[in-house]
Chain A
């Protein structure tokens, strides 16, 4: 039977710019993935809950507010508490290089800045996931 990669695309925090998240969601769908899109202004608790219930193979976060060093570690903690510490997390947005290094150290698989080709994101997700 088909193995489908299921990806959660979420937009934590308070900024309202969701075009990037929508572009990625659409690109992943067109690459044959099932994308669960949760919309704007999600708390880390909401995102972790959705990742759990949807049993996703990867989580993609779009953050443009600058709050990534608060939001991402919190989400990673919650996912760990839920038993999903091995589920890869990707972050896209405006992330300074030194923060990206720290996020990687915390376990984030990749950080994408503006202008990243969607094909790179697709390839990364395929590389890091192993769906049922």
Chain B
């Protein structure tokens, strides 16, 4: 059996090995992903994003239990937990498992920590590929937890079917809520830590921001292509409050996606996104291999020494080709 076959049959070590290979772009791992690709496209990909300290990992812990139900030997929930790589050392401290101890003994739940490895946007460089693998080997739910994200780290919305934006009381006023790009990508807004004071106020300012967005769109005569009205849910991941309702809302969103055709659109966009990214990478490496190194080195020097602006340097490089 190949690693891909073993992973699909439920061998967790093979799955873990494949994830490592994919993350490090080892050809054997990438080949396995090619082999499994036709089996992908069945899982519900759920993104969880929000600021540091809003309780994402603790919520993922609770939510996974709610989605998985009773322990069994079936594959139920895969979790990809992303934490940042240090830009100084290249190392990373991946600590999301600390909050997921209830999942540690579950044979039907698989947690993988990933470092961003230089990717911006809140996801690991290979998070898309990792999610594809989890999907292809048969996990019906794939949860992707981003790094603590503030205002513009919205890559997750392109990867996930359902994006949860987690907020918590006391993290910022309503103007913060207004400028945050992550609000716009939310399919479901969650005010976590609702056991703390200020949770109602936080939910209220989010609701106001959603309303303003809605009003402005109507004023502009945009009927809106999206029929889904972003709900605001209150949870306390600490004591389990609101988790069942959240799991139900996630399932409802999935139904909405399949009935409205929105899901198919997103799924196609996701596949094309990956295609485009790989084309960009391939073009860049092909261009690097084509012996333009001398000009490239020169361009780097020109930019460092401020002789040429980066834009001019690129123009010069491509006029030499």
Contact = CB atoms under 8 A, between A and B. Distances in A.
A49 B93 contact: no
B16 interface: yes
Given A37-B98, A39-B101, A55 B17 contact: yes
A17 interface: no
Interface in A86-132: 131-132
B12 A132 contact: no
B113 interface: yes
A54 interface: yes
A37 B94 contact: yes
A52 B93 contact: no
Nearest to B112: A53
Contacts of B304: none
Interface size class of A (residues with CB under 8 A): 20 to 34
A6 B212 CA distance: 46
Given A39-B97, A53-B112, A29 B117 contact: no
Contacts of A71: none
A36 B97 contact: yes
A14 interface: no
Interface string B71-96: 00000000000000110111111110
A83 B91 CA distance: 26
Contact of B105 (A25, A30, A35, A49): A49
A74 interface: no
Contacts of A4: 24, 90, 115, 117
A46 interface: yes
A36 B94 contact: yes
A1 B25 contact: yes
Interface centre among A42, A54, A82, A131 (most CB of B within 10 A): A54
Contact of B93 (A3, A37, A53, A131): A37
B52 interface: no
Contact of A46 (B21, B25, B104): B104
Interface in B91-142: 91-95, 97-98, 101, 104-105, 110-113, 115, 117
A42 B92 CA distance: 21
B91 A33 contact: yes
Given A46-B101, A46-B104, A35 B94 contact: yes
A39 B101 CA distance: 9
Given A30-B89, A132-B26, A83 B13 contact: yes
Interface centre among A3, A33, A36, A49 (most CB of B within 10 A): A36
Given A1-B25, A38-B98, A49-B104, A55 B20 contact: yes
Contacts of B104: 38, 42, 45-46, 49-50
Contact of A37 (B91, B97, B110): B97
B19 interface: yes
Contacts of B16: 52-55
Contacts of B19: 55
B113 A36 contact: yes
21 contacts: A1-B25, A4-B90, A6-B20, A25-B93, A30-B88, A31-B89, A32-B91, A34-B91, A34-B92, A34-B94, A37-B98, A42-B101, A46-B104, A50-B111, A53-B111, A53-B112, A54-B111, A55-B19, A83-B13, A131-B24, A132-B24
